C-alpha cells in the first residue's frame, strides 16, 4: 500500500473518531452499545466469571496445539491469561507460545507483536496460524524462524484483546506485558528466568513501544533486555491534523479503527450511536472482518458517508482519547534499551514525533539506537529493518554492549 493511501487512511479514522466521540454541548444521551465481534466459539477463549480474582499475568488455561508447518520442529501452545484494559478493568487475553527443539531452560524469550488490522476474532493470530481461509493469514509468521533457529522461545500475543479493539494502542502494551508474565508462569515452558526481548513493526511496533514504556511501572519484575520498534505510530493527535474527507480506497482500515476504539472505550466513545443507515450497515458487514474484508467493504468510502454530523473536529473528548493513546504524550520512560527504525519518507508516521520521543527517552536515561532506512514505504521499511533488529536483540540477550544514538 502506498504512502498516500496510508496517510489518507489515518486521516479518515481520526476524523471519524473525533466526529463521533462526544456531545459538543448537546444534551447528554446514553451511548449506544458498541458492535462487538461474534465471540470465538472455542470455549478455551471464554472469560472466566471470576476473572477479577486473578492477578495480571496469571495463566487461566494452557493447552498444547498441533505442530505448524510454519514453524518446523517447534512445539506450539496456547495460553489464556488475565490482563488489564485501558481503563484498569480485568480482562482475559491470549498468547501463542512457540518453543523450538533447541531451546534450553531459561533461554531467550522473544515477545513478537504482529500487525493485526482486523475486527473479527477469527482473525487473531492464535486462529490465523491454523486457518486455511485466505482472508485470515499471518504474513509475518515464516520470518519468525530467524528467531526460532537461534533457540529463542517466541510468544505471539493477540494484543488487540478478545474484543479485537483495533486502534487501542495502550491496550496492546498491557496485553504484551501480561502475556510475557503468563508464559513465564507456566512451568512446562521453562522460561521462568529467561531474559526477554520485545519486537514488532507498524501496529505491532506500537504495541511493543507501549509495552516498553509501561513496563517500569506496570511490570517492573520482567527482565526486558531490549525492545525493537519498527515504524511505530507514536502521536495520534498530530496525525489528526492531517484529516482528509474525500473517498479513498483504504478507508476500510480507518473505519475499522474507529469501531475498535469504541470497543475499548464504550463509556466515552460513542461511534455506533452517531452512525447513519450507511454507517450501521458497514459496521455490520465489517464487525467480524479480517484485513481484506475491511478493505473491500470500505473501498472508496469516506467518514462523511457514515455519519450525518458536521461538527467533526471540535470535540475535546475525542482529542483527549487520542492523546491517551499517543505514546509521545505519555510521560513514562522505558528502562530497557530501544532499537528503533523507520522510513525517512513514511507518510503514515510523523517523523518529528518519533525523533522527539527518542530524544525524550534518551534524556530520561534510556539507551536508544534510532535510524532511518533507505527511502521506502511504511511496510517495506519495516521488513528491511527486521534482520538488524534480530541481530541487535541477539547482542542484548548475550549481555553485550550496543551503540546508541543518544
- Model confidence pLDDT, tens digit, residues 50-99: 999 999 999 999 999 999 999 999 999 999 999 999 999 999 999 999 99
**pLDDT score at 140:** 78
**pLDDT, tens digit, 9 for 90 and up, residues 259-304:** 999 999 999 988 898 899 999 999 999 999 998 899 899 998 988 8
Work out the pLDDT band at 31, boundaries 50, 70, 90: low
Q: What CATH number does the domain containing 267 carry? A: 3.40.50.1820
**d(Cα 132, Cα 368) in Å, to the nearest integer?**
40
Parent domain of 139: 1-406
Work out the pLDDT band at 315, boundaries 50, 70, 90: low
In Å, what is the CA distance from 136 to each residue of 90, 170, 388? 28, 24, 28
**pLDDT, tens digit, 9 for 90 and up, residues 146-189:** 999 999 999 999 999 999 999 899 999 999 999 999 999 999 99
**pLDDT score at 321:** 83
Overall number of domains in the chain: 1
Q: Is 343 left (phi over 0), alpha (psi -120 to 50) or beta?
A: beta
Instruction: Quickly count: other Cβ atoms within 10 Å of residue 285's Cβ.
Output: 15
**Contact yes or no for 81/181 (Cβ under 8 A):** yes
Which residue, 267, 279, 155, is CA-closest to 211? 155
Q: Which residues of 170-184 are buried (b: 16+ CB within 10 A; e: fewer)?
A: bbbbbbbbbbbbbbb
Amino acid at each position: 500500500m502506498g504512502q498516500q493511501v496510508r496517510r489518507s487512511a489515518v486521516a479518515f479514522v481520526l476524523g471519524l473518531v473525533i466526529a463521533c466521540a462526544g456531545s459538543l454541548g448537546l444534551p447528554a444521551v446514553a451511548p449506544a452499545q458498541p458492535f462487538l465481534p461474534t465471540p470465538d466459539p472455542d470455549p478455551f477463549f471464554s472469560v472466566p466469571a471470576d476473572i477479577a480474582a486473578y492477578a495480571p499475568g496469571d495463566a487461566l488455561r494452557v493447552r498444547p496445539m498441533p505442530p505448524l508447518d510454519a514453524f518446523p520442529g517447534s512445539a506450539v501452545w496456547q495460553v489464556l491469561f488475565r490482563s488489564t484494559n485501558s481503563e484498569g478493568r480485568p480482562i482475559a487475553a491470549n498468547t501463542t507460545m512457540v518453543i523450538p527443539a533447541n531451546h534450553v531452560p531459561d533461554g531467550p524469550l522473544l515477545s513478537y507483536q504482529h500487525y493485526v488490522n482486523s475486527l473479527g476474532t477469527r482473525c487473531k493470530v492464535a486462529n490465523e496460524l491454523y486457518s486455511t481461509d485466505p482472508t485470515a493469514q499471518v504474513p509475518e509468521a515464516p520470518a519468525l524462524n530467524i528467531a526460532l533457529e537461534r533457540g529463542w522461545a517466541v510468544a505471539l500475543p493477540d494484543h488487540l484483546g478478545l474484543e479485537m479493539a483495533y486502534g487501542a494502542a495502550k491496550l496492546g502494551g498491557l496485553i504484551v506485558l501480561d502475556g510475557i508474565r503468563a508464559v513465564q508462569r507456566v512451568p512446562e515452558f521453562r522460561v521462568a528466568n529467561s531474559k526477554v526481548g520485545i519486537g514488532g513493526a507498524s501496529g505491532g511496533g506500537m504495541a511493543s513501544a507501549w509495552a516498553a514504556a509501561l513496563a517500569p511501572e506496570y511490570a517492573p519484575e520482567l527482565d526486558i533486555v531490549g525492545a525493537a520498534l519498527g515504524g511505530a505510530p507514536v502521536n495520534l493527535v498530530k496525525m489528526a491534523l492531517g484529516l482528509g474527507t474525500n473517498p479513498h480506497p483504504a478507508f476500510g482500515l480507518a473505519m475499522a479503527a474507529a469501531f475498535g476504539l469504541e470497543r475499548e472505550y464504550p463509556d466515552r466513545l460513542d461511534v455506533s450511536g452517531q452512525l447513519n443507515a450507511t454507517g450501521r450497515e458497514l459496521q455490520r458487514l465489517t464487525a467480524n472482518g479480517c484485513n481484506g474484508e475491511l478493505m473491500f467493504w470500505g473501498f472508496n468510502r469516506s467518514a462523511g458517508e457514515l455519519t450525518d454530523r458536521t461538527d467533526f473536529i471540535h470535540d475535546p473528548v475525542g482529542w483527549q482519547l487520542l492523546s491517551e493513546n499517543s505514546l509521545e504524550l505519555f510521560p513514562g520512560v522505558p528502562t530497557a534499551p530501544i532499537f528503533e527504525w523507520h522510513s525517512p519518507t513514511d507518510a503514515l508516521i510523523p517523523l518529528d514525533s518519533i525523533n522527539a520521543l527518542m530524544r525524550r527517552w534518551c534524556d530520561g536515561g534510556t539507551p536508544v539506537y534510532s535510524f532511518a532506512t533507505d527511502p521506502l514505504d511504511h511496510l517495506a521499511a519495516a521488513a528491511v529493518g527486521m534482520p538488524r533488529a534480530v541481530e541487535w536483540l541477539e547482542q542484548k540477550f548475550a549481555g553485550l554492549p550496543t551503540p546508541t544514538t543518544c
